[in-house]
Structure 1
Amino acid sequence: MQPAELILPATDSITLVLQQGVLYLTLNRPVSRNAMTAAMLDEIIDAFDAIRGRLDVRAVVIRGAGGHFCAGADLKSLATAPKSAGDDPIAALNRRFGTMLQQVEAASQVVVVVCEGSVLGGGFGLVCVSDIAIAHSAARFGLPETTRGLPPAQIAPFVASRVGLSQARRLCLTGAQFDGAEALRLGLVHLVADDAAALDAMLDETLDAVLRCAPQANAITKSILMNVEAAELATRLDAAALQFSQCARGSEAAEGITAFMQKRRASWVVSAQGSASS
């Protein structure tokens, strides 16, 4: 039986192209180094909803437009988000990011990410939920959230799962940044290329290998692998979203985001109670 025709959703922040069983999903906000907005999150979620369970879509390649993968969350949109109590819009937006990561990780398709330029924050999180990650040696990876006065609330569990708790603690608690060679050493990525042509060749070879595998066997194998360390992740992400919101409303985030926008180093002041403020 032929599968029903795949209808891809309309998008503005990403582009979707289906070719020979491979869905190419490109983050397409190059002016902001593909920083993620609420609209982009929704579009990624909608794209993965559209291909859920479809064996005719064998792989998804996630890449960024304009020479960068993703610079993380769009902090300008966070800075202008409503700060009202009650239904917490900041927590809801942050938790939506966790939902997107869970959905990408759980996809039956093989998810391949191609890392170039900035691979920060949310972009780093996408790498952690990919099945195969290919990087340019000059790509810049990092988790700068704590230097902005924010925790990597939704990303941290996936980072720990990818590179181990010990390395995750170091990376998250120092805002470390590093290149493709270090990403390979950490196990964050699987392949590293020194130029664009080699990067594209690695992608082609990877997709050829994926397409050599049986669709249902790959989908089932991935499901088995993803259940090896089953845990109640959703509850932890719910709590993390509220913690993220608390930080976003605090003085650290105000200083961290302002310093980031002013291209200067943030200035932290630690009170006697041990909390930091600006």
Structure 2
Amino acid sequence: MSTSQVRRGHVANLPAWDRCAVMGVVNVTPDSFSDGGRWFDTTRAVKHGLDLVAQGADLVDVGGESTRPGATRVDEDEELKRVIPVVRGLAAEGVTVSVDTMRAKVAEQSLAAGAALVNDVSGGLSDPAMIPVVAAAGAPFVVMHWRGLLAGDAVHGHYEDVVSEVVDELRARVDAVIAGGIAPDRIVVDPGLGFSKEAGHDLTLLAHLDRLHALGHPVLVAASRKRFLGHVLSDGQGAPPPARERDAATAAVSAIAAHTGAWAVRVHEVRATADAVRVARAVEGAL
């Protein structure tokens, strides 16, 4: 068994994949940085989720609130209205569904509607009821590195040693989540690329994913179309390409993450990443 297979791990109550899994994104929002408004309708959102599965997604992450820097939060009732019918529709079709939410009530109702995983970008910090709800349901939980809903200059954060600080803060958060009743074999960690980080921070974290793996939990890498890729791809005048023109770069990150043992990658455009992780697995199998 290769090092990356050992690192990849398995999340209890979810399917076991023999390679890095592909998590497709369905944003049921009008204001996502990447594709806001395209799937802002239950029927279209469910169809899009099924299309992502047909293109190679292993699970689908449904979110009803944009978490881009500076985004205005929607109220709970609106988030529920956006998310629950889509979760229910996809789960009814046999899709493994993740719900992307910072609210305990949305998580609870999504799990009741058939979601299998809770992906909370705040790692349970935004809503004190989140950890008890997930623990009671016995559901897997993604703990992302998060320093709050920041705005202005604070969006980028400040680090002396970004890898050590992110790892230490994630470790503390994982300990708190376990103390709150969520079983260790149900925890996934996410370095939070793009959240309170500059492009250099994100690239440094990707270069040191082994430090994330050392936490002992499966790792989710969510780099899709993010600002740091725009920085890497910027033209001679420093202008980044639009978010939807960063999919090839996203697939490159997916291949890197898969090769280094990531449990899953979260992406908007599935087909290229599905190919990338399969190639990474084939190379891994030839070692």
Smaller-chain TM-score bracket: 0.3 to 0.5
Higher relative contact order (CA 8 A, sep 6+): 2
Question: Normalising by structure 2, what TM-score?
Answer: 0.33
Give the TM-score normalised by the residue count of structure 1. Answer: 0.34
